[in-house]
Chain A
Amino acid sequence: MLIRFVTNAAVISAHTSRRASFDGSMRTRVNSDRASGPRRILAVAFFVMFLLMQVAVPLFQLTQPRPARFGWQMFSTLRADALGVSYHIEAAGGELIPVQLSAHFARVRLEIDHRTVLPPYLCEVTPGAAAVIFERGGTTTGRYPCP
């Protein structure tokens, strides 16, 4: 189907474009070079592919956990798993050190699953860390033991 679109588009005739000089006078010219086959094929191909991508990707992202990237899902939901979760590093002596997300992320983004990516990183950069603790509302909801 796409090939037929492109082939059909190649026979489309020239279009005109108008030029205005700074004194306001007008002249019209036929832009025959613009009308040539390859440029038209490229134009139609780009138009179709761009539009397909811009519809298909967000459509697919609607089936993914939200908010998903490239899906125009601004302020669409809250990550239930991330809501109100705080992180603590458990030192070797059992002491709990609170973690500021903004100190460890270049930008705190909701599309990123902090529970997956943060604990291994904290273990790696914190000397003597025994584990990373997740808390919600003062209750421990998870524990990632450092290797």
Chain B
Amino acid sequence: MPVRAFFDRLLRSAAPARPLAIARIVVAGVALAKAADLAPALFNLSGGEVIRLPYWGGAPDISMGMAWLLVSCWAAAGVGLLLGWRTRWTGAVLVAVMVAVLLLDQQLYSNHFYLLILLCLLLTIADSGAALSLDARRAGERETVPAWPVTLLKLQLSIVYGFAVFAKLNLFYISGAVLDVYWTRQGLYAMPDALRRMEVLFVLAAISLLAEAILAMAMWHRRTRHTAFVIGLGLHLAIIATMGPTWELTLFAFMMFGLYLLFLDATPRSRLVVWDDQCAFCRRWVMSFRRLDWLRVHRFVGSSDSSILTEAGVTREAADTAIQLVGGHDRRASGFAAVRSILEHLPASFLWAPILRLPPIEWLGDRAYRNVGARRSCEVPIRVKT
């Protein structure tokens, strides 16, 4: 039975723990920022100076004491989740507090806040404290976690973008009227009045719809994933620059980027990087890559280790000429292509690194790599622990 086989496979499979842990840190950071964002509204409601709009008649009044208690618990649990201290407990407390705040008053709702609650819930269930956490420091870091909650987190991303597209399939949006109203009229990214024409706004609306539709689907395919990362980065930067409120939209972007990371092929030590360890210049670069390889996807080995060269099927000449990458979906890459591929798998650069695939940039990068490779300083042989 296909359904049974699906669940069988899903429950058996494991996902890398580190991308999930970084997503936890990002989302917990957003939760703390959101506490600071919503606290004034909560205190306003408790002061009785603004309208109260509870969801149902018997909702409790918000006292100043209750507001302080909620914000304090929120902040404490947020810090706990960020540090990965008793992750499941702090995550559960954080979710409970945020649900309580969400249900106190209709004015406290926002799509971003609702998404934040769902992500915290799934991160709590997903054992996101298995790595990069105080829990992991105490009990030992795990390389993998059950995959099914990670799959739910990834599906949540598609659901958000997918339904955003469906909701925008209306005349107001497609005509560009929504963009006309929300697009800032002041500052660097203000749209000039001359451009606020229906044809222009229609094209922009269509582009944004297409981008969100791509993001809902393309992340799931290996070949389109990296392109989707760049599209997502561009879309969110454009939204932040041109619309408001900037702070809320920035937090939303961070949440989504945290989810993007879960789509990255991050099997631990699955990619072997062979580099010229007799070269001081190369060493500096490799040390930087290693420091940024928070997912521990790469295994960096020097070309002086002949057993590794045999294992990787790389000749010493090739390894001494250019950095070599073996494994992962790229199979084999060298020089600039290898550098680009490494950058595409580092959390700090995976969103923008696929831009380096564009033909003119790739061509320029390749030339620059060859030039630098020919002139690099390799006088000082250095032994590096691999």
Q: Are A76 and B167 in contact (CB under 8 A)?
A: yes
Select which of B7, B50, B141 is within 8 A of A44 by beta carbon: B7
Find chain A residues with CB under 8 A from B178 CB.
75-78
A125 to B328 CA separation, bound complex (whole angstroms): 66
With both chains docked as a complex, state the minimum distance between the C-beta of B280 and any C-beta of chain A, in angstroms: 25
Find chain A residues with CB under 8 A from B144 CB.
17-18
Select which of B8, B14, B156, B170 is within 8 A of A12 by beta carbon: B8
Find chain B residues with CB under 8 A from A112 CB.
53, 106-107
Q: Are A104 and B109 in contact (CB under 8 A)?
A: no
With both chains docked as a complex, state the minimum distance between the C-beta of A79 and any C-beta of chain B, in angstroms: 10
Secondary structure at the B interface, as helix, strand, loop or mixed, is: helix
Q: Could you tell me which residues of chain B, from 1 to 45, have a CB within 8 Å of some CB in chain A? A: 1, 3-4, 7-8, 10-14, 41-42, 44-45
- Closest chain B residue to A77, Cβ basis: B172
B140 within 8 A of A: yes
A34 to B178 CA separation, bound complex (whole angstroms): 49
Q: Are B3 and A74 in contact (CB under 8 A)?
A: no
A74 to B235 CA separation, bound complex (whole angstroms): 14
Q: Are A72 and B163 in contact (CB under 8 A)?
A: yes
Q: Are B167 and A109 in contact (CB under 8 A)?
A: no
With both chains docked as a complex, state the minimum distance between the C-beta of A83 and any C-beta of chain B, in angstroms: 8
Known: A17-B14, A18-B142, A78-B181. A70 touches B114 (CB 8 A): yes
- Closest chain B residue to A108, Cβ basis: B107
Q: Are A51 and B4 in contact (CB under 8 A)?
A: no
Select which of A22, A50, A74, A103 is within 8 A of B141 by beta carbon: A22
A80 to B173 CA separation, bound complex (whole angstroms): 12
Contact with A along B151-193 (1 / 0, CB 8 A): 1100110011001101110101100011001100000000000
A67 to B143 CA separation, bound complex (whole angstroms): 42
A62 within 8 A of B: yes
Select which of A12, A34, A105 is within 8 A of B107 by beta carbon: A105
A3 within 8 A of B: no
Find chain A residues with CB under 8 A from B108 CB.
106-107
Q: Could you tell me which residues of chain B, from 79 to 111, have a CB within 8 Å of some CB in chain A? A: 105-111
Q: Are A75 and B51 in contact (CB under 8 A)?
A: no
Select which of B13, B45, B51, B151 is within 8 A of A15 by beta carbon: B13
With both chains docked as a complex, state the minimum distance between the C-beta of A4 and any C-beta of chain B, in angstroms: 8
Chain B residues in the interface with A (C-beta under 8 A): 1, 3-4, 7-8, 10-14, 41-42, 44-45, 50-51, 53, 105-111, 114, 118, 122, 125, 140-146, 148, 151-152, 155-156, 159-160, 163-164, 166-168, 170, 172-173, 177-178, 181-182, 243, 268
Listed by A's residue number, 20 A-B pairs whose Cβ atoms lie within 8 Å are A9-B4, A9-B8, A15-B146, A18-B142, A18-B144, A19-B142, A21-B140, A43-B148, A44-B7, A54-B118, A62-B167, A66-B167, A67-B167, A69-B109, A72-B160, A76-B173, A77-B173, A106-B45, A107-B108, A111-B109
